Every structure is written in C-alpha cells, then in structure tokens.
C-alpha cells in the first residue's frame, strides 16, 4: 500500500517520520517544501501528483477550510480519487464538513475516514497517539496497519463525522483543564506556594488532570513542551466545539473560560506559540507572573 501525506508540519511531520522509521516510503506534499524533507518523505509537486501516487492518503491540516481546499479544490484530492483509495483526515475539522467530503469521495468509490488525534507532539514523536475514527469499518481495517505505525490506540467511534465529533469534545475538555490549571498555578505562584508541592497535592487530589500530570511539571521549570497546538488553533477548536454544541442544542456555559483565556493569549502576542503559554498570558495580566523564575511575584 503506497502511502501519501499532505501537511507535514508539527504533527504531520512527526507522524510521517514514524512511518519512515518503520521502513515505509512516504510521498509528501506541504506548502513549505522543507517540511517534506524534514519528515523523511519523498516530495511531490502537487496534491494531484500526491493523490495519484497514493493508495492511502493521510491529511494533517489546520482546519476545515484548508481541508476543503486540498480535497475539493481544482486539482485536489477529489478530482484524482479512485475506487479503493482511502483518505484519512487527521486534522481537527468540523464534523459536517467531514461528512460532506465523505459523501463526495464515496461517489468516486474512495473511502474517507475522519480520524481525530490526541496525545500532542510528544506522542506523535513516539508513535503513541490515540486516534478516534469515523467512517466505515472496512476501510479502517485496511488502513489500520499504517495508522498503527504512529498510533497506540485506535477507536472506531461510529459513522462519518463521529471521529471529528469526539475530537472536538476531547479538545474542549483539554482547553478547559489547561486554561483553568494555568490560572490556578498563577494564583499559587502569587500566593507564595511551592509549585512542586502544589502540583503534588493536585495530582493526589480531585483537581488532577492531564495538564497537572503532564504539562505543568515541565512548565514550572521553563519547558513549555514546544511543538504542539498553538493558542490560535486551540481557540479555533473551542469555537468549533461551541458551533457543534449549538447545532446539537446543548447549552455551553463552560465555554466562556477557555474562549477568554486563549483569546487573551492570542491578543497578547502568543497567537503562534504553543497553547501552554496561556499561563504566561494570564500571568501578564496578573502582575507579570512567571512560574519558572526565582523572582518574587508582584502582589
């Protein structure tokens, strides 16, 4: 099975590198040509060339607008799709857009799987991502040997759109816990607490979450775990969740916090920085607080 990969940035590049390390050749396409080489892929000149040369085509793109441009645009994936081909969309995208692309590709005999990913840059680097997949079981079974080269857990979540729906639900919780923990850690710093002890208490108590376990033990020492989701992309994901909740008729009183937090980070100049820097944005408006310095916080 010939493997193609469109979008070889922070996440796609790491996933492609896992495939290459497993001894498989990857055809690649990215608007930044140097990303292709860095990911160990063989460069192609266009999306059309990439699609023609792939039996399974993986997409890792910023949002539905870009996915639709790559798939539905002139010379895009849809125009060159063929029966038996599998397209796996690893982006974080709107479920209704994913369902539409699924229908259009099915008319050409190609399969489309919406496959949200979780685990961040570290898991992508190590090949231990979690995948949440929507679409038919048969193409997932055929794609699984490739997906297992960079994913440790693969869940079939239901029909087309289900994978990206689960991804939005997960990312919303991720946004809440990251932004709320950032606020708590800034408060702990200003209160004069030892942050190592504070994290130890949180991780042994009911406040424990992914951010307290995996992010802030590094952040308090100045390691922001660069390479993951930016503040702009996190804000995009939360907005996608809010749109989904509205379509479902679900009230979302808890969305205000992460919308405000990551919107603040973007407004203060952290737009393209990893979303963990939301703690610095909150710190900026709390007296210039940084978790990882030895200076006394401003009261």
User: What's the token pair of residue 230?
Assistant: 């930016």
Task: Point out which residues pair with 86 in neighbouring strands.
Answer: 56, 111
User: What's the token pair of residue 261?
Assistant: 């937090």
3-state secondary structure of 299: coil
Give catalytic status of residue 153 as yes or no. Answer: no
Helix (H), strand (E) at residue 20: helix 10-21
In Å, how far are 123, 223, 265 from 258, measured between CA atoms? 24, 22, 10
| Distance between CA atoms of residues 18 and 89, nearest Å | 17
Task: Point out which residues pair with 17 in neighbouring strands.
Answer: none
| 3-state DSSP helix/strand/coil % of the chain, to nearest 5 | 55, 15, 35
Query: 276, 187, 163: which is closest to 227 by C-alpha?
Result: 276
Directed axis angle between helix 162-190 and helix 231-248, to 10°? 120
| Distance between CA atoms of residues 201 and 195, nearest Å | 10
3-state secondary structure of 50: helix
Which of 42, 153, 167, 218 is catalytic? The answer is 167
User: What's the token pair of residue 259?
Assistant: 């919308």
3-state secondary structure of 125: helix
Helix (H), strand (E) at residue 196: helix 195-203
Catalytic residues: 167
């Amino acid at each position: 099975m010939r493997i193609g990969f469109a979008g070889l940035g922070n996440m796609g590049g790491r996933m492609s590198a896992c495939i290459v390390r497993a001894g498989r050749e990857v055809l690649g396409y990215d608007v930044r040509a140097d990303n292709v080489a860095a990911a160990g892929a063989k460069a192609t000149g266009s999306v059309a060339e990439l699609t023609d040369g792939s039996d399974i085509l993986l997409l890792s793109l910023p949002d539905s607008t870009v996915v639709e441009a790559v798939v539905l645009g002139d010379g895009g994936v849809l125009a060159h799709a063929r029966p038996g081909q599998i397209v796996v969309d690893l982006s974080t995208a709107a479920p209704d857009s994913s369902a539409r692309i699924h229908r259009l590709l099915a008319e050409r005999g190609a399969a489309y799987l919406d496959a949200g990913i979780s685990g961040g840059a570290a898991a992508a680097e190590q090949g231990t991502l979690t995948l949440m997949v929507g679409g038919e079981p048969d193409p997932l079974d055929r794609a699984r040997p490739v997906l297992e080269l960079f994913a440790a857990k693969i869940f079939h979540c239901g029909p087309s759109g289900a994978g990206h729906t689960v991804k939005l639900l997960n990312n919303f919780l991720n946004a809440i816990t990251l932004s709320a923990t950032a606020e708590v850690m800034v408060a702990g710093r200003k209160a004069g607490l030892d942050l190592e002890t504070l994290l130890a208490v949180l991780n042994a108590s009911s406040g424990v979450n992914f951010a307290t376990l995996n992010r802030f033990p590094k952040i308090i020492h100045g390691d922001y775990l660069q390479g993951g989701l930016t503040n702009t992309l996190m804000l995009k994901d939360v907005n996608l969740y809010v749109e989904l909740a509205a379509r479902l008729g679900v009230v979302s009183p808890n969305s205000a916090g992460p919308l405000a937090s990551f919107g603040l980070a973007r407004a203060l100049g952290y737009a393209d920085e990893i979303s963990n820097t939301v703690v610095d944005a909150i710190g900026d408006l709390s007296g210039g607080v940084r978790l990882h310095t030895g200076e006394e916080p401003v009261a």
